[in-house]
Chains A and B, each alone.
Chain A
Amino acid sequence: VQLLESGGGLVQPGGSLRLSCAASGFTFSNYALSWVRQAPGKGLEWVSTITYTGNTYYADSVEGRFTISRDNSKNTVYVQMSSLRAEDTAVYYCAKGGGSSVFDSWGQGTLVTVSS
């Protein structure tokens, strides 16, 4: 299993960013995919999950601002982040699972910095 995140970077408060996670090594369409973040020096925080059927779930802290989606033809999961705040600054990890299963594989993460 390989998960490769991209799209991180520096963005101003109130701005938008889209992260991507390209997956390989498993039958993508059969699994839930999730985003988990980690602010600098802090613990892990679950952000969002999309199930294999397309159901979506969000943490309260991002509900209404982040949108998770998947493209099974490209084996890729996305998170569109808008109205970004300083407290969204974190390494964002893509993880396989999170629906009815654990997070059994993780990408290496992509850093999002929200700052003016």
Chain B
Amino acid sequence: EIVLTQSPATLSLSPGERATLSCRASQSVSSYLAWYQQKPGQAPRLLISDASNRATGIPPRFSGSGSGTDFTLTISSLEPEDFAVYYCQQRSSWPRTFGQGTKLEIK
């Protein structure tokens, strides 16, 4: 099973700041990594597929990068609605796995 480790667990920033979230895989997932955003009481929403492809309707302030085992989700300038929990997920092999999440909170 591929283990995804996200860091940090919690990130405290202010609106307008830049956020950098990390996801590290226990073995290579090539570029088969996705990022999801989840707000309290809501279902997750796809942000990024295949490491760097923004999903339909996702603002350009969200960007993804990386390949192999190290991936980054960057939010260039935080908006109030961006404070949420973010998960990475791999589709390189079975079982599909998620990271434990990074909570992005308002400082």
Contact = CB atoms under 8 A, between A and B. Distances in A.
B87 A98 contact: no
A71 interface: no
B95 A103 contact: no
Nearest to B96: A46
Given A43-B98, A46-B96, A60-B95, A102 B44 contact: no
Interface residues of B, number: 22
Given A44-B87, A102-B49, A104-B55, A93 B43 contact: yes
Contacts of B100: 43
Interface string A21-47: 000000000000010100000011110
A76 interface: no
Contacts of B96: 34, 46, 49, 57, 98
Contacts of A43: 87, 98-101
A102 B34 contact: yes
B106 to A, nearest CB: 20
B43 A57 contact: no
A46 B89 CA distance: 10
Given A43-B87, A43-B100, A44-B87, A104 B46 contact: yes
Interface in A42-61: 43-46, 49, 57-60
Contacts of A116: none
A108 B43 contact: yes
B43 A102 contact: no
Contacts of A44: 36, 38, 44, 87, 89, 98, 101
Interface of A: 34, 36, 43-46, 49, 57-60, 93, 98, 100-109
Minimum-distance CB pairs A-B, first 4: A106-B43, A46-B96, A102-B34, A44-B98
